[in-house]
Amino acid sequence: MTHTPARTMDFFDRSVGTLIAERVKVDGLSALRKFMRSETYRMLSDDDLKLWHMSPLAVFDMWQVEQETGDPRQSVYIGGDDGQGT
């Protein structure tokens, strides 16, 4: 696995972390921890997947779907419109 560059990860840490903090109503550090412990974050860190081509809002959606379903691949941004991850 090739890792996504640190500058790119920093951008997403700040952007998605802020979205999590605002939407989930937690402080910034807690939001960042939630994000960094997620499968969504692991996928974003894998440069081979090129998830950094997505907007922070799309990555936040993946994180949110992961919180609801346990699988970020259920997001419409990855799985398509059927919500089945296929």
Give pLDDT tens digits along the chain (86 positions). 899 999 999 999 999 999 999 999 999 999 999 999 999 999 999 999 999 999 999 999 999 999 999 999 999 998 755 544 44
pLDDT value of residue 80: 55
CA angle 13, 33, 41 (to 5 degrees): 55
Q: Where are the alpha helices (DSSP H) in 1-86?
A: 6-24, 28-36, 39-45, 56-69, 76-79
pLDDT value of residue 79: 73
Q: What are phi and psi of 3, to 5 degrees?
A: -90, 140
DSSP code, position 27:
-
pLDDT value of residue 55: 97
pLDDT value of residue 86: 42
